[in-house]
Amino acid sequence: MSTPARQLKLGAVTMGVGGPGQPYLWLDEDIPVDASVNIHWYIEQARLAEQAKFDLIFIVDSQFITADSPPHYLNRLEPLTLLSALAVTTEHLGLVATMTTSYNDPFNIARRLASLELISGGRSGWNVVTSGDAGAAGNFSRAEHYDYDTRYARGLEFVRVAQGLWDSYEEDAFPRDRATRTFLDPARQHALNHSGDHFQVAGPLNISRSPQGQPVIFQAGDSEQGRDLGATIGEGIFTHAPNLAAGQAFYQDLKSRAARKGRDPDHIVVMPGAAVFVGDTDDEAREIEYDLQNRDKDFDRALAELGRPFAWHDFRQYDLDAPFPQEALIFAERGFRTGAEKIAKAAQDNGWTLRQTVESISAPRQTPFAGSPETVATRLQEWFDARALDGLNYHIGHPSQWRRFREEVVPILQERGVVRTEYDATTLRGNLGLPVPENRYTRAREESLIRI
């Protein structure tokens, strides 16, 4: 049997009226001003992604805001509720939601995702995050956010418990035989009886497995602990790749960590997120890129938003023309530390003042995927061939650009055989080429039979 050719995977990230760095995306007249809470808008985006044979739609989330948060964050739908609606209006598209392990319990997350699994026929995915928004603690009865080691240890145990709960029923647990009045085969129902450092969970979960066995696990943390969690449990990895070399380095690091843990690196799909800018020519695309980024330029908003990775520390209290206040890094200890460290290091290396730091991080910049449809397709193919990515997580922004990507870039990639022209499967695992995890109790029984 020949192995199917490796194909580029496509995800679509939705940030409705505008995520970080996009304070004025919502001024685009083609975006409904209520897009982030408008289910009809999401249904339309999912349909468009499905028409272009995308693998998945990804709904980001967090649970803490201030008045300075990006427009999309201020007023948005809860991911699983939203994805339940998309599950019944799409047929093939994977449905991936961010849910934090820091402010949930494994039983309720396992149950809600298992429900989405059955509603969608095996198309759900879970982006496991540990929350960088430290303020979420105050919304969940905690005085302060967990430190990095605790939140990632809790995250790993959380996922293991959820996976254990998803094995509560074996495939044939429900004979549903009216003649013998047998609904359940109790020998095929299993209590987890987990007792660990962070969770005590008896089980069983009150919902059966789906056509793909279990939801696909995604992960997006970039710290040492975050990469280690991704290499341990991630089947899809969301990340950022500012250039080819950085993408390759991350890809290599993640996959070799996974191999060292005894995992098959081919069973992990690395998908950096990126905005794409398409024009008739490369020059025109660069003009579009500059123009669209320039529309979002706003020094005061960028200064306020700089606080987010630093646990919403308020940088407005400092002298703008003094050196970047490195001491603010202590606030990032429980926030988005990796992102905060990158900013602080860039400021230090370049000797920037606070004003120069804000100007630099919010200035229009040339991104990797900008050009004519041919150029963008070729660049994507190069990154894919050079193992800087297995897939692209396309950032949906301006509708005209989203349309050009689907209608002008995707067909070129299809023609070259880089992306699919038809769905391979009905499940997300099937489309991503990921194996179905076997039920642990079924496997144990089969192995014990072989030994006899």
Ligand X SMILES: Cc1cc2nc3c(=O)[nH]c(=O)nc-3n(C[C@H](O)[C@H](O)[C@H](O)COP(=O)(O)O)c2cc1C
Q: How far is the CB of 5 from ligand X (least distance, A)?
A: 27
Kindly identify the residues of this chain, within the stretch 362-421, that bind ligand X according to CB under 6 A: none
Please report how the helices 106-120 and 79-87 are oriented relative to each other, as an axis angle in degrees rounded to 10.
20
User: Do 369 and 241 form a contact (C-beta atoms < 8 A)?
Assistant: no
Between residues 190 and 308, which has the closer beta carbon with respect to ligand X? 308
Determine the size of the site formed for ligand X (CB under 6 A): 21
Binding to ligand X by CB under 6 A, coded x per residue (else -) over 111-130, reads: ------------------xx
Kindly identify the residues of this chain, within the stretch 325-344, that bind ligand X according to CB under 6 A: 336-338
Quote the CA–CA distance of 434 and 268 in Å, as a whole number: 8
Between residues 129 and 412, which has the closer beta carbon with respect to ligand X? 129
According to the binding rule CB under 6 A, does residue 221 interact with ligand X?
A: yes
Q: Which stretch binds ligand X (CB under 6 A): 216-224, 242-250, 355-363, 373-381?
A: 216-224
Using DSSP, state whether 396 is helix, strand or coil: strand
Phi and psi of 231, rounded to 5°? -70, -25
Binding to ligand X by CB under 6 A, coded x per residue (else -) over 168-207, reads: ----------------------------------------
For 127, the enclosing helix (H) or strand (E) is strand 124-129
Tokens 């030994």, residue located: 451
Q: How far is the CB of 171 from ligand X (least distance, A)?
A: 32
Q: Which stretch binds ligand X (CB under 6 A): 19-27, 105-113, 139-147, 217-225?
A: 217-225
Between residues 69 and 100, which has the closer beta carbon with respect to ligand X? 100
Q: Which residue is nearest to ligand X (CB)?
A: 226
Between residues 57 and 173, which has the closer beta carbon with respect to ligand X? 57
Kindly identify the residues of this chain, within the stretch 251-310, that bind ligand X according to CB under 6 A: 273
Between residues 213 and 226, which has the closer beta carbon with respect to ligand X? 226
Between residues 16 and 226, which has the closer beta carbon with respect to ligand X? 226
Between residues 131 and 212, which has the closer beta carbon with respect to ligand X? 131
Closest alpha carbon to 387 in 284, 255, 205: 255
Q: List the end-to-end C-alpha distance of the chain, in Å, as a whole number.
A: 31
According to the binding rule CB under 6 A, does residue 131 interact with ligand X?
A: yes
Kindly identify the residues of this chain, within the stretch 31-60, that bind ligand X according to CB under 6 A: 60
Tokens 């989330």, residue located: 61
Quote the CA–CA distance of 96 and 90 in Å, as a whole number: 13
Structure tokens at 213: 């066995």
Structure tokens at 423: 């769905």
Tokens 């990032």, residue located: 332
For 217, the enclosing helix (H) or strand (E) is strand 216-219
* Burial class for 392, CB neighbours closer than 10 Å (0-12, 13-18, 19+): buried
Between residues 23 and 226, which has the closer beta carbon with respect to ligand X? 226
From the list 19, 71, 122, 132, which residue makes contact with ligand X (rule: CB under 6 A)? Answer: 132
According to the binding rule CB under 6 A, does residue 312 interact with ligand X?
A: no
Tokens 């990230």, residue located: 13
Between residues 100 and 120, which has the closer beta carbon with respect to ligand X? 100
**Measured between alpha carbons, how far is residue 95 from residues 49, 346, 363 in Å?**
11, 36, 33
Between residues 173 and 389, which has the closer beta carbon with respect to ligand X? 389
From the list 103, 146, 238, 277, which residue makes contact with ligand X (rule: CB under 6 A)? Answer: 238
Binding to ligand X by CB under 6 A, coded x per residue (else -) over 58-97, reads: --xxx-----------------------------------
From the list 239, 357, 362, 372, which residue makes contact with ligand X (rule: CB under 6 A)? Answer: 239
**Contacts by 377-386 with C-beta closer than 8 Å and gap 24+?**
377/409, 377/412, 377/413, 377/416, 377/418, 380/8, 380/409, 380/413, 380/418, 381/8, 381/413, 381/416, 381/418, 382/244, 383/241, 383/244, 383/247, 384/8, 384/418, 386/244, 386/248
From the list 16, 106, 125, 226, which residue makes contact with ligand X (rule: CB under 6 A)? Answer: 226
From the list 50, 55, 117, 222, which residue makes contact with ligand X (rule: CB under 6 A)? Answer: 222
Closest alpha carbon to 101 in 42, 153, 48: 153
From the list 7, 69, 90, 98, which residue makes contact with ligand X (rule: CB under 6 A)? Answer: 98
Between residues 240 and 297, which has the closer beta carbon with respect to ligand X? 240
Residues that bind ligand X (CB under 6 A): 60-62, 98, 100, 129-132, 220-223, 226, 238-240, 273, 336-338
